[in-house]
Structure 1
Amino acid sequence: MTLRRRFLLTPSFARLIRRERDSLRYVEGFFPEQRDRSSWVRLKEDRGLLILKTVGPGGEAEDETVIPIGHAQALLDVCAGEVNYTRTALPIGGGHALVDEIIRPRVLHLVTVEFASDGEARGFRPPEWFGPEVTADARYTNQAIALRGLDGEPEIPLSDAALNSLIDALEGRFPVQARMALNQPKAKQVPLTRTKAQISGEAVKVNLDEIEEAMRREMEKTLQKGNPT
């Protein structure tokens, strides 16, 4: 069973990550909720899945069935609610942080980390660039967002330490605790968009110093708006 911890993410950090990494587009449609089970259809690029999650004495279990794209699209038309998002996988230590930008029914940015055991999940200490944890808040599941929506605009603090932590992750530098074994993404990612410009067949690396300076200016503007003089 895969365990997950989920955190909010500031939009500016999500934008920076998408600029540096490839993304995949997802559409998930959820059927009406039931007490001990839930089901939904997922369209991931050119792959359709029908997913059933059940709750029993041993905890939660998910079963996935591959279905034709046409069937997935037909099921999406009759679902009770839908969520559209892009997902970007950013390596952290031995695993990945899955950065989701939810586009519909409202814009929201989240980051999820998957674990193979309860011990790994409990032992994980999120890096500074993660926002507040919402794992235990049922409002931030994809199912709840699709079926009930989400009111309010969550506040996510910005700090110099958080920006430096994200720059370290983008450059492949991780603290010792983040090198623990985490689940790898289950499927090979197919690029949705290329995030590095191509000139004469050679990739042009984005200058992270310039990005960092731009991010600092954005954080200063945010802080000034929150503390009017």
Structure 2
Amino acid sequence: MVEIERKFLVTSKAFKEVAFNQNRIKQGYLSSIPERTVRVRVKGNKGFLTIKGISNESGMSRFEWEKEIPVDEAEKLLLLCEKGVIDKTRFEIKTGHHIFEVDEFYGENEGLIMAEIELQSEEESFEKPIWLGEEVTNDNRYYNAYLSKNPFKSW
């Protein structure tokens, strides 16, 4: 129940040419405090409820619990969320032995494209595609909970 991931900015839209899957995502936060974020997400035709703990010092690891819920319930819960629902398309790209999830944001976060990779350990190596830019793993501004209240367009 520990998520280990690294986040990067994306330098071009070349990733779209090699994506094997994509889904529109809408997500909101019932609680966005860093010690325990509670997220509601509609991804395609599925709903999810996720609880995440605070990140460790490196920003790579934190507790994560997620359960699939009926999509109609997730849509109702989105109406209860804090202001600032995130709207994005997630593209999945296989690179080497890993899958990158690349999010292209819309609305107040339009212009932001960010890639995440989940790892088995913080030291695990991985192949970096040419469109992968600056690492922003330990920059709290790139957490979706932060972006919901402080949109990218306002930076």
TM-score range, shorter chain: 0.7 to 0.9
Give the 3 Å change call, closer, same or farther, for CA 111–56 of structure 1 in structure 2: closer
Q: 2:51 touches 2:65 (CA, 8 Å); kept in 1? A: yes
Q: Secondary structure at the match of 2:134?
A: coil
Residues in 2 aligned to 1:19 and 1:78: alpha-carbon distance in whole angstroms:
37
Taking structure 1 as the reference length, the TM-score comes to 0.58
* % identity of equivalent residues: 29
Alignment match, 1:182: none
Residues in 2 aligned to 1:98 and 1:69: alpha-carbon distance in whole angstroms:
21
Q: 2:23 touches 2:91 (CA, 8 Å); kept in 1? A: yes
Residues in 2 aligned to 1:91 and 1:66: alpha-carbon distance in whole angstroms:
24
Unmatched segments (≥5 aa) in structure 1: 153-229
Give the 3 Å change call, closer, same or farther, for CA 133–56 of structure 1 in structure 2: closer
2:147 counterpart (145, 148, 153): 145
Unmatched segments (≥5 aa) in structure 2: none
Give the 3 Å change call, closer, same or farther, for CA 56–6 of structure 1 in structure 2: closer
Residues in 1 aligned to 2:109 and 2:55: alpha-carbon distance in whole angstroms:
32
Residues in 1 aligned to 2:86 and 2:55: alpha-carbon distance in whole angstroms:
26
Alignment match, 2:123: 119
Residues in 1 aligned to 2:5 and 2:34: alpha-carbon distance in whole angstroms:
21
Larger proportion of helix: 1
Number of corresponding residues: 146
Q: CA RMSD in A?
A: 2.2
Give the 3 Å change call, closer, same or farther, for CA 19–128 of structure 1 in structure 2: closer
**Structure with greater Cα Rg:** 1
Q: Secondary structure at the match of 1:43?
A: strand
Taking structure 2 as the reference length, the TM-score comes to 0.83
Q: 2:95 touches 2:129 (CA, 8 Å); kept in 1? A: no
Give the 3 Å change call, closer, same or farther, for CA 24–56 of structure 1 in structure 2: closer
Alignment match, 1:187: none
Q: Secondary structure at the match of 2:74?
A: helix
Q: 1:82 touches 1:105 (CA, 8 Å); kept in 2? A: no
Matches within 5 A, 1:174-213: none
Q: 1:30 touches 1:147 (CA, 8 Å); kept in 2? A: no
Alignment match, 1:83: 86
Larger proportion of strand: 2
Give the 3 Å change call, closer, same or farther, for CA 35–90 of structure 1 in structure 2: closer
Residues in 2 aligned to 1:126 and 1:18: alpha-carbon distance in whole angstroms:
16
Alignment match, 2:97: 94
Structure 1 residue 63: deviation in Å?
A: 1.1
